[in-house]
Amino acid sequence: MPNFRPDDFHGIHAILYALFDVNEQLDRAAMRRQVEICLATGVHGMAALGLATEVAKLTGAERRTIMDWTAEDTAGKVPLAFTIFGSSVAEQIAQVRHAESVGADWVILQPPPVGSYGAPEYIRFFGRVAEATDLPVAIQNAPAFFGRGLSSDEIRGLVTLHPNIRLIKGEGPVTDIAGLIERTEGRMPVFNGRGGLELVDNFRIGCRGMILAPDCVDYAVRAYHAFRAGDEVTAEAEYTRMLPAAVFVMQGIENLICYGKRLFGARIGIPIHDRAPAMRPSEIGLAMVARFAAGLGRLPG
């Protein structure tokens, strides 16, 4: 049984980077250190195998390995989610089964990374995967990143058909997420991402929280706590400090993986190695990473 339920989910959840060694293999020590750092910042949840985890570059065995490692290192301290990647219903269900076996508290379904279909096909696809598990399920709706997605009304219909679809993981501007919250009548927790852009306004419109890569997660945690305490001035100040770096890394997913990961590495003092094919950093980009890392300071832990 999960340790946490959807009503417990809130705040800032960290989505892990895939950290590789010089031979492009997953680096066990670095991945463990990443979880330790995230927990030290006070994150309210942990997640892995999303876009920031470069899930499309991982084999099925590597995805299961990351589930194993993350569950072991998180050790039930905070809610744990895994994004489910797969080109077929069967492949996604197999990933869900492994998430269940390691004690995940919820899973986040991505649309299959093949083809481009109408909304009814995705609704049926998500529904079949959701019906195969008793875990709370979230739908990741990120049309800007995936090139496919569902409208607010289509999501509303999907969650009506499948009661264990209990959450929504958005990737969009505040104006879009506000419409989604309105159309679902506030009945489902909605998390946003986008590297923390528009952070405080996401809280204002009723987002339950944010799922962010860990390069600026300490500032996001402090902003969230300040907002919850009614101190919007401090919340905005914390957000303002992280904003230039967030804008820099969130120029696209490849940019996030190239520079966001290096910003995280610079803030904890570890080297970053890419798995090909990859966007390679420029001298200007590396100089920006160094400047932002110096301004943000070391991550806690």
> Counting Cβ atoms within 10 Å, is residue 1 exposed (0-12), middle (13-18) or buried (19+)?
exposed
pLDDT at 74 over 70: yes
Distance in angstroms (rounded) separating the CA atoms of residues 193 and 6: 18
Mean pLDDT score, 118-138: 93
State the Cα torsion 251-243-290-44 to the nearest 10°.
Answer: -100
Assess contact for 190 and 180: CB atoms under 8 A.
Answer: yes
> Counting Cβ atoms within 10 Å, is residue 128 exposed (0-12), middle (13-18) or buried (19+)?
middle
The phi and psi torsions of 11 (rounded to 5 degrees) equal 80, -150
Q: 187 pLDDT band (50/70/90 cuts)? A: confident
Out of 43-57, 110-124, 148-162, 268-282, least confident range = 148-162
Give pLDDT tens digits for 228-239: 999 999 999 999
pLDDT at 78 over 70: yes
Cis peptide preceding 277, ω within 30 of 0: yes
Out of 69-78, 136-145, 188-197, 287-296, least confident range = 136-145
- Mean of pLDDT over the chain: 94
Return the pLDDT at 143.
67
Q: How many residues does the chain have?
A: 301
- For residue 32, the Cα-to-chain-centroid distance in whole angstroms is 17
pLDDT at 147 over 70: no
- For residue 168, the Cα-to-chain-centroid distance in whole angstroms is 12
DSSP secondary structure letter of residue 19:
-
Residue type (1 letter), 14? A
- For residue 97, the Cα-to-chain-centroid distance in whole angstroms is 20
Return the pLDDT at 208.
96
Beta strands in 72-227 (DSSP E): 80-84, 106-109, 137-141, 165-170, 190-192, 209-212
Bridge partners for 81 per DSSP: 47, 106
What is the residue whose two structure tokens read 């419409």? 179
Give pLDDT tens digits for 254-279: 999 999 999 999 999 999 999 999 99
pLDDT at 214 over 80: yes
Return the pLDDT at 247.
98
pLDDT at 170 over 80: yes
pLDDT at 197 over 80: yes
